Amino acid sequence: MRNADAETQRKILNRLKRARGQLDSVINSVENNGSCREVVTQLAAVSTALDRAGFMIISGAMQYCITDPKSAAEDEDGLTVEELEKLFLTLS
């Protein structure tokens, strides 16, 4: 994410790493016949962490497109407002 500031990128990476750790816990629970409650609770945590990271990524892209639309349009992976809306809706 080259358009995200360092603090935002750090927050996104922290959320993704937390989700990875939670997913490792889910896998471990399934492999070791963990309780259904434990597995579902961890899956919910993974899903929430991934959703929040996704919303932060989309939010950053929207801010970039709004504050610097010319640069965003010239960027090799620049997104239109319609594409951003579609991506946002895929997270809901």
Q: Which residues of the chain have pLDDT under 50?
A: none
Note down the domain range covering 86. Answer: 6-91
Transcribe 8-53 into DSSP letters. Answer: HHHHHHHHHHHHHHHHHHHHHHHHTT--HHHHHHHHHHHHHHHHHH
Q: How many domains does the chain have?
A: 1
pLDDT of amino acid 6: 84
**1 domain residue, yes or no:** no
Q: What is the rounded distance in angstroms from the CA atom of residue 54 to the CA atom of residue 48?
A: 10
pLDDT of amino acid 7: 86
Q: Which CATH number is 83's domain given?
A: 1.20.58.1000
Q: What is the rounded distance in angstroms from the CA atom of residue 5 to the CA atom of residue 87?
A: 20
**Non-local CB neighbours of 63 within 8 Å, separated by 6+ positions:** none
**36 domain residue, yes or no:** yes
pLDDT of amino acid 71: 60
pLDDT of amino acid 4: 65
Q: What is the rounded distance in angstroms from the CA atom of residue 92 to the CA atom of residue 78?
A: 22
